[in-house]
Amino acid sequence: RLKRFASGLVVDHHRGVGRLFERLRALGHERIGFFTWRYPVEATWSLRRFGAYVEQITEAGLPLRETDIINAGPRQALSIEASYERVLAQTREGVTAWICAADHQAYDLIKWLEARGLKVPEDVSIASFDGLARPAGGPLLSTVQIPFHQIGVTGGRRLVDLVHKRFDAPQHILLDCSLREGATLGPRPA
């Protein structure tokens, strides 16, 4: 029962990435890359966000360029440093915005790019997913805010319902998330 409970409460990754994509497109971005890290364990949340990215690119009629997708494919396993170098190379080749699978990845990427002379968002826009607090000295990230409080409240209610056997069949509860505007998105560079 608890396994069914835990797996039935999820954030709407597709809607969240869709909001990031819509915002970037409204700013004129047409070549938007996807960036994530390779983890020693399976990061299904990263795959869900990548799937949403592919859906958005396809729906917009934009080309899906494998070179603009970093660490999301099964054949790709770049180190962090090699991943950053690839982002830099693809940015120089025309990627004007990156969607990162998680905020911690985005903050580290911004720091790395800025140490190499690129300005965010003047030279490249960075968007992400999670809504975590910014690190000291970091910019306020434009990100999808996961409703952590709502997850806790909904999960608690669901657990009480299971204890009282109010629901026998598993439920799939999809929680919405919102876009938190920050200082890391700007118009497409000329």
More confident residue, 149 or 73: 73
| Element housing 161 (H / E) | helix 148-163
Tell me the two tokens of residue 65. Answer: 């360029």
pLDDT recorded at residue 133: 87
Contacts of 88 (CB under 8 A, 6+ apart): 113, 116, 118
Distance between CA atoms of residues 188 and 190, nearest Å: 6
Summarised one tens digit per residue, pLDDT across range 77-113 is: 899 999 999 999 999 999 999 999 999 999 999 999 9
Summarised one tens digit per residue, pLDDT across range 103-151 is: 999 999 999 999 999 999 999 999 999 888 888 988 999 999 876 555 5
Is the Cβ–Cβ distance between 109 and 138 less than 8 Å? no
pTM of the full structure: 0.83
pLDDT recorded at residue 148: 58
Summarised one tens digit per residue, pLDDT across range 27-53 is: 999 999 999 988 766 678 888 899 999
> Residue 155 — very low, low, confident or very high, per pLDDT cuts 50/70/90?
low
Distance between CA atoms of residues 80 and 36, nearest Å: 9
pLDDT at residue 59 is higher than 50: yes
Q: How far apart are the first and last CA of the chain?
A: 55
pLDDT recorded at residue 1: 38
pLDDT at residue 152 is higher than 60: no
How many residues can be counted in the chain? 190
Task: Map residue 65 onto helix, strand or coil.
Answer: coil
Distance between CA atoms of residues 152 and 169, nearest Å: 21
What average pLDDT does the structure give for the chain? 85
> Residue 3 — very low, low, confident or very high, per pLDDT cuts 50/70/90?
very low
